Structure 1
Amino acid sequence: MSKWEKDEVIQRFREYLRIPSVHPNVDYNECINFLKRQADLLDLPCNVYELLEKKPVVVITWVGTRPELPSILLNSHMDVVPVYEEQWKYPPFEAHITEDGWIYARGAQDMKSNGMLHLEAVRKLKEGGVRLKRTVHISFVPDEELGGIDGMKIFCESEEFRKLNVGFEMDESYPSDDPKVFHAFHGERTARQVKITCKGVTGHGAMLHKEAVTAGEKINYIIHKFMEFREKERQKFINGAPLGEVTTINLTKLEGGVQINVLPEQLSVYFDIRISPFEDHNAFENMILGWCKDAGENVTLEYFVKNPEEKTTKLDEDAYFWNALLKTVRDMGLDINSVICPGTTDARFIRRQGIPAIGFSPILNTPQLIHAHNERVHADDFKHGIVVMEKVIVALANA
């Protein structure tokens, strides 16, 4: 038996990882039962809010000495993405730990690690007799991996959330392969998903038309304009711009046509778009509408996802929660590199409420394997993350 088998902290982490809260059709009951047990062990109240059936939000609360102050929310999500089990070195819901301390499990990085870091840090603080000024809420939400619409979005718009009086939220980032520098997120790109449909003259596939324009000609124009813009952004990325600071466009689907020798009456193309916060969102939308107009008549734009422009959390001298976080980490001889998240997290819903939020996952020396095969974290780096999280919680709650 390795030393890790006797480590209570690691065993609690592994117990949580073994819960198969995996999409599709997640059953969150086992997660709820586990979290309730943790709250009982911490002697803290635990509330379960089910604003939508089978979509529970769990909130464990440590009341501060000055509960009238805006509170700190430490958030993570309970759900994990599916796996290709045959590609894993060890079963992904076994939470296998190797002799040298690597824990293999879906959720080891995204995002059950953060939830347990929050709980274990609070456990150590309480055991040490620490009292904090601000109330600290530890939340566990559903369905982040599906976009968070039935999880954090609905919850943070509710009266139940308003009563938490949140002044700052800390959410997820991703592990760092560096031994001294953490990654953090202070904003996100805006997700837009569009379908452009081009209608044109139909007829025999052997024909040419002197005046009428085919759907193929129109869609070729549209694709060319999108790909031209995409290449300009790709060059920014190649030249060193962080991914979160460029606008990405990817063609993800084409459809249309009935037979190879028949001109299609219509063709459609789908694009996944993530707009940089440094892009003028209105100008970007008008640019796409202009392309559709220039392509010809009967070209229509349809949005599948049209998120509002995402806000960013300021990192200036007046951002006292961010500065408390940064000072604490630097006082430990470490540092934080904060960037725009290339994907999406639940923090965007918090920022829409006018609440500052930072994504921060204090795990170092770890290859980034979010959503990948053999997702893993080392027990030593996980436990070091608890030490960092303890100090960060104290700094935030006493800011």
Structure 2
Amino acid sequence: MLPDKDGPSGGGPCSTQGSSGEDPSVSLFREYLRLKTVHPEPDYDAALRFLDRIAEELDLPMKKIELFPRRVLSIMTWEGTNPALKSILLNSHTDVVPVYQVCHANCPYPEHLALCSQDWNKVYIQAIRRLKAEGSQPVRTVHLMFVPDEEVGGHKGMETFVTHPEFQKLNIGFALDEGLASPGEAFTVFYGERNPWWITIHCPGNPGHGSRFVENTAAEKLRSIINSFMDFRETEKQRLNMSQCFTLGDVTTVNMTMVQGGVAYNVIPAEMEVSFDLRIPPTVNLQGFEKQIKLWCKEAGEGITYEFAQKHMNQNVTSTEESDPWWNAFSTTCKAMNMVLEKEIFPAATDSRFIRAVGIPAVGFSPMNRTPILLHDHNEFLNEQVFLSGIDVYQRLILALSSVPAFPDETNPFL
């Protein structure tokens, strides 16, 4: 939601400013927020119709690639004056996490729910619109990509697309993707991400009647597993709290998210299982960490197995050395706008991890300072002036990145 410039009013997350006389960029953003691309049944067709209209307004060709049934990826392309050079990717996703309806049941402005307002990299559209209106022309080609299913792991989106022949043809040299809000004056920029591991541990045991002291039960093993994971969670929490140098992205988070098992109150189950969401920073030895999980399972008892619903192993990070031409263009442009940057590892997961995994540098950045981090919260909002200032920031960044001088022997093999 985009509230008045002084922040959200007493109406909470449903507060809104009238559309009369507001900046067209704000009106367009509100229109996008009204699209019902919420999981588990996102209306991707509505998003595609919206993007088709935008591409026509911007006079940009649009390519659509159906990665899976009803999972269409869209790419608008602004061709540069030297299309043989590596291109710039401005990545965005079209889906939204589910909303807790109870939090919005009494909202007088249901069409203005703020879900996704801080997931705001669709702002690229308005930056391109302004650049074209000013008569600017990039040297390197710029691609605006809109990807499905980012919020549910990206398997039917970016994870698949980076291995697609059409991705190779884009000849990407550098990518911008979403970041996070920053409560202070500085702007947070993310050069890497933690690896998400979603693991379920199966604990078998002796069944029996609930009136007996049955030995070697599934519940006893489950308790041992939970204790091991949660003790480690507390250790990492203390590491974060005791170090002034660490941010959330520098430690491993552990959260127990599901527990299943049992059929009746008076029946001791033959199996129970527990699931955890782990987010592991790129500084951790992943093979060594899995050995630790195996040890916890062994210590808990016989027959315990585990499986991963998601297990990302790539630990590539993007260079933030001033000698790197992409980072130099990015950071120098921000400094010219008197922006202070704080470099961090992204604590959650975005499509950038798939881009970095294939060797392309990517930065997560959303210029939203002086803004509480409310991503995916039911009271998510975005200050209107922060939003409008962010468009200006992206204008400068897109021009700077698309003007990075050619590297030695840089050519596009697909031309």
Q: TM-score, normalised by structure 2?
A: 0.86
SS of structure 2 residue aligned to 1:377: coil
Give the AA of the match of 1:94: E
Q: Deviations over 1:156-181 (max 9, x none)?
A: 22111111101111000122233x31
Q: Structure 1 residues 201, 32: CA separation in 2 closer, same or farther (over 3 Å shift)?
A: closer
Confirm or deny: 8 A CA contact 2:186 2:369 kept in the other structure: yes
**Which residue of the partner structure matches residue 109 of structure 1?**
118
Is 1:24 the counterpart of 2:40? The answer is yes
How far the C-alpha of 1:259 sits from its partner, in A, is: 4.2
**Does residue 1:224 correspond to 2:240, yes or no?**
no
1:94 and 2:111 correspond: yes
Q: Per the alignment, do residues 184 and 93 of structure 1 end up closer, same or farther by CA in structure 2, a change over 3 Å counting?
A: farther
> Which residue does 1:276 correspond to in 2?
281
Q: Deviations over 1:216-239 (max 9, x none)?
A: 333332222222211111101222
**1:139-158 correspondence runs (5 A):** 139-158=145-164
Structure 2 SS opposite 1:163: helix
Q: What SS class does the counterpart of residue 111 from structure 2 fall into?
A: coil
The residue type equivalent to 2:76 in the other structure is I
Single out whichever of 82-91 and 129-138 deviates more from structure 2. Answer: 82-91
1:45 pairs with 2:55: no
**Are residues 26 and 276 of structure 1, via their aligned partners in 2, closer, same or farther at CA, if it must alter by over 3 Å?**
same
Determine if the alignment matches structure 1 residue 164 to structure 2 residue 151: no
* Uncovered stretches (5+) of structure 1, i.e. residues with no partner: 96-103
Give 1:377's match in structure 2, choosing from 376, 382, 407. Answer: 382
Residue 308 (1) aligns with residue 313 (2): yes
Q: Of 74, 84, 91, which aligns to 2:100?
A: 84
How far is the alpha carbon of 1:285 from its aligned partner? 0.3
Q: Letter of the aligned partner of 2:94 in structure 1?
A: M
* Structure 1 residue 6, shift from structure 2 partner: 4.5
Q: Equivalents in 2 of 1:234, 1:393: separation in Å?
A: 38
Note closer, same or farther for the CA distance 1:22–1:127 as it changes in structure 2 (3 Å cut).
same
Deviation at 1:2, TM superposition (A): 5.7
**Residue in 2 that maps onto 1:343:** 348
Equivalent position amino acid for 1:238 in 2:
N
Counterpart in the other structure of 1:138 = 144
Q: CA deviation at 1:198?
A: 2.4
- Residue from 113, 118, 122 that aligns with 2:128: 122
Structure-2 separation of matches of 1:93 and 1:34: 19
The question of whether the paired residues in 1 share the 8 Å contact of 2:87 and 2:402 is answered with yes
Q: How many residues of Structure 1 are paired with residues of Structure 2 in the alignment?
A: 385
1:394 to 393, 399, 403: 399
- Given that 1:281 and 1:309 are in contact with CA atoms closer than 8 Å, whether structure 2 keeps it comes out as no
Deviations 1:200-224 (A, max 9, x none): 3344445457xx6333333332222
Change (3 A) 1:59 1:93: farther
For residues 308-335 of structure 1, the C-alpha deviation after alignment (integer angstroms, 9 at most, x for no partner) is 2332212123432122111111111112
3-state SS of paired residue (1:230): helix
Deviation at 1:20, TM superposition (A): 1.8
Displacement after TM superposition at 1:374 (Å): 2.9
Contact 1:252 1:272 in 2 (8 A): yes
1:92 and 1:374 in contact (8 A); partners too: no
Once the two structures are TM-superposed, the CA of residue 46 in structure 1 deviates from its matched residue by 1.3
Q: Does the CA contact (< 8 Å) of 1:22 and 1:80 recur in 2? A: yes
Query: CA distance change for structure 1 residues 303 and 9 in 2, over 3 Å: closer, same or farther?
Result: closer
Instruction: Give the secondary structure class of the aligned counterpart of 2:200.
Output: strand
Q: CA deviation at 1:135?
A: 0.5
Q: Which amino acid aligns with 1:391?
A: R
Does the 8 Å contact 2:314/2:357 carry over to 1?
no
Structure 2 gap ranges (5+): 1-16, 405-415
Cα distance change, pair 137–367 in 1 and its aligned pair in 2 (3 A): same
Deviates more, 1:59-68 or 1:296-305: 296-305
Q: Give the RMSD, CA atoms, in angstroms.
A: 2.2
The alpha-carbon deviation at position 85 of structure 1 amounts to 4.3
CA displacement, residues 248-287 of structure 1 (integer Å, 9 cap, x when unaligned): 1122222333444444333322222111211110000011
Shift in Å, 1:393: 0.6
Structure 1 counterpart of 2:179: 173
Conservation of the 8 A alpha-carbon contact between 1:200 and 1:266 = yes
Greater alpha carbon shift after TM alignment, 236-245 vs 380-389: 236-245
Separation in 1 of the partners of 2:142 and 2:384? Answer: 26
Match of 2:157, SS state, is helix
1:321 to 304, 322, 326: 326
8 A Cα contact 1:233 1:246, kept in partner: yes
Task: Show the counterpart of 1:367.
Answer: 372
User: What secondary structure, in the 3-state scheme, does the structure 2 residue paired with 1:58 have?
Assistant: strand
> Match for 1:58 among 51, 67, 74?
74
TM-score by structure 1 length? 0.90
Deviation of 1:364 (Å): 2.7
Q: SS at 1:364's partner residue?
A: coil
**CA distance in structure 2 between the partners assigned to 1:199 and 1:50 by the alignment:** 42
